Amino acid sequence: MKHRVLFFDHDSDITGSTISLMYILQELRSRGMEIWVASPKSEENFAVFARFGCLRYDFSSFLINSLGLDLHSSSKFSGSRLSRGLRLLKNFGKLILGIIMSAKAIWVIKPDLVYINEYVLIQSAISAWFMRIPCVVHIRSLIISKENIFRHLFIQYCLGIFPSHIIAITQSEAAQLKSRYLNTTRISVVTEFVEQKKYPIESDVTSFYQEHPQLLRKRIILFMGGIWQLKGTFEFLKAATMVARKHKDAHFVIIGRIVNSGTENDIQYYNDCSALLNIDESHSYISVLGHRTDVDIFLSQCSILVAPNQLDHFSRPIIEAWNFYKPVISTNLPHAAEIIINRTNGILTPNNRTDELAEAICELLANEKLSREIGKAGFEYASENFNLKVNLQKIFTIIQNVNYFD
């Protein structure tokens, strides 16, 4: 009998969680399962799943594209009392609409199991619970803090009651879930995973430099956070201006999501970054390339990956860079400190200290031996702790136990 699993995907873009989900879908398809993905992604973005034979269920509404609730640790309501009230009302609407749309998807697909890729779609777990379908929720980030008491208690209660099992990507994600509502035996920690990849062939490298001639014979400092406040774009740009004065052969590349709309803070941050890009002829040593599907070629050709995150979260680009023996520099936040041993498999710098970030970049550019040693240590750490086959087997075992698959 072919088992049918319905995944709920919250993100219309291609992000780190999309890449992780892609590996899970590929694994389950290889085991002969029928996979449906309820997703707001466009046909173009959904192609990352469709190539494995996954079936698409359109999970968007003419009223709103994404039904993800503002339950992430970065989701702080700001502005006037009226704007905060409107956002709360919008979230209530997404909650109700999400429950209805999830129930419809479950009714149409009739899955043996529901799998939710992130807790911001907790509405889907509520629907699965009422329809008596086993449900797994993957938790990839920190939930809203206790300062936001109503939303914090809401997500704690929902996670305690509705999922059959919860998978947390680190101990930090698991620890935040301790509450009187949740039996900890229903929580498993399964770390992220990365596929060991070969370096691109020579023709691909040639094509890369033909497309980006400004990078030829340059040492590439890669930042994969796009323009987004929680990723630390502004800090990266400030450090770049300092390093460029000393290292004329350095070129700073920004790839990833460009957040130029949304809240007032998002728009102001984009404008601040744009202003910084327009001074001192920074365009000559900085390239902003936006979303890319050919991330591996950038990782293989870069000299250093920089992750100056401003909000604590697991940074997938770090382990992706390690996969290519690349040294990484990260802000010293709890998630990074869990996996980076300072000056052994990476360098940790204090938050909001762009001068120390610039110094760390300069040190690695000036000391190739140290750079190689850190990159090699990172590769070894990733191979041992973020093993693709081992961790996918753990997830499959959880799915088996939840639904008693044969």
Task: Say how far apart CA 164 and CA 137 lie, in whole Å.
Answer: 8
Domain 4-193+387-403 matches domain 202-385 at the CATH topology level: yes
Looking at 9-129, which runs of residues are DSSP E strands? 34-39, 55-58, 113-116
| Res. 396 pLDDT band, cuts 50 70 90 | very high
Return d(Cα 124, Cα 65) in angstroms, integer.
16
**From CA 134, how far away is CA 80, in angstroms rounded?**
41
Q: What is the mean pLDDT of the chain?
A: 91
Q: What's the average model confidence in pLDDT over 184-210?
A: 88
How far does the chain reach from its first CA to its final CA, in angstroms? 9
- Tens-place pLDDT, residues 279-319: 545 568 999 999 898 999 999 999 999 999 999 999 999 99
The stretch 199-210 carries a mean pLDDT of 88
pLDDT in tens, 231-241: 999 999 999 99
For residue 56, how many other CB atoms are within 10 A of its CB? 16
> Which pLDDT does position 197 carry in this prediction?
77
Cβ atoms of 114 and 6 within 8 Å: the answer is yes
Quickly state the pLDDT bin for 121 (edges 50, 70, 90): very high
Which architecture does CATH list for 202-385? 3-Layer(aba) Sandwich (3.40)
Question: Average pLDDT in the 164-178 region?
Answer: 90
Indicate whether 65 pLDDT > 80. no
What is the percent of the chain where pLDDT is above 70? 95
pLDDT tens for residues 89-102?
A: 888 999 999 999 99
Does the pLDDT value for residue 406 go beyond 50? no
Long-range contacts of 90-95 (CB under 8 A, 24+ apart): 93/63, 93/64, 94/64, 94/67, 94/68, 94/69, 94/123, 95/69, 95/123
Res. 326: pLDDT tops 90:
yes
Which of residues 116 and 63 earns the better pLDDT score? 116
According to the model, what pLDDT value does residue 62 have? 60
Residue 164 has pLDDT above 70, yes or no: yes
Q: What is the pLDDT of residues 42-56, one digit of tens each?
A: 999 999 999 999 999
- Give residue 288's pLDDT: 94
Residue 23 pLDDT: 95
**SS3 of 187, please?**
strand
Length reported for the chain? 406
CB atoms within 10 A of CB 225: 23
User: Is 79's pLDDT higher than 70?
Assistant: no
pLDDT at 85: 79
Give every strand in the sheet of 55-58, ordered side by side: 55-58, 34-39, 4-8, 113-116, 135-139, 165-168, 187-189
Tell me: the pLDDT tens digits for 259-285? Answer: 888 777 889 999 999 988 875 455 689
Domains in the chain: boundaries: 4-193+387-403, 202-385
- Tell me which of 3.90.190.10, 3.30.390.30, 3.40.50.2000, 3.90.1010.10 is the CATH number of domain 4-193+387-403: 3.40.50.2000
Is residue 171 scored above 80 in pLDDT? yes
Taking 60 as the threshold, does the pLDDT of residue 405 lie above it? no
pLDDT at residue 278, rounded to an integer: 79
- Per-residue pLDDT, 149: 84
pLDDT of residue 270: 93
Could you tell me the pTM of the whole model? 0.90
Looking at residue 102, its pLDDT comes to 96
pLDDT band at 77 (very low <50, low <70, confident <90, very high): low
